[in-house]
Amino acid sequence: MPRRSASARRALGRLGAARAVEALAFLAQDGAYRKLADLQEYSLVDVDRRRLELYRREAEHWILLESEGDGPALPLQSVGMSLSPAQAFEDLDEEA
């Protein structure tokens, strides 16, 4: 787990779980995670939209791969697997 700044920890401490996820998404989009030299990829999950976003470092820039609904699996190179929205949210579908 990446180490968060003191201001990020305080902000997350004041938020509920749903708001904390939104805050982490903002931090990711804002580039906080992207500044970690060893980070090669990270994923954001939007449960409400059943959407996956995968950000991957390629040379000096980041690329975005997206999938939602019945979309294709995203290749998670850092852990040697692929994950589709259907797989990521199958337990949610069973609970409904």
- What is d(CA 9, CA 3) in angstroms, rounded to the nearest whole number? 9
Q: Which two tokens stand for residue 77?
A: 């190179």
Rounded to the nearest 5 degrees, what angle is found at the Cα of 57, between the Cα atoms of 88 and 19? 50
- pLDDT attached to residue 74: 96
Q: Which residue has the tokens 């997350």?
A: 12
- The pLDDT profile of the chain, 96 residues, written as one tens digit per residue, is 444 455 555 554 554 555 666 666 666 666 667 777 888 898 888 888 899 999 899 988 889 999 999 999 999 999 999 999 999 998 886 655
- pLDDT attached to residue 2: 45
- What is d(CA 72, CA 16) in angstroms, rounded to the nearest whole number? 31
- pLDDT attached to residue 42: 86
- pLDDT attached to residue 31: 67
Number of H-type helices and E-type strands within the chain? 4, 5
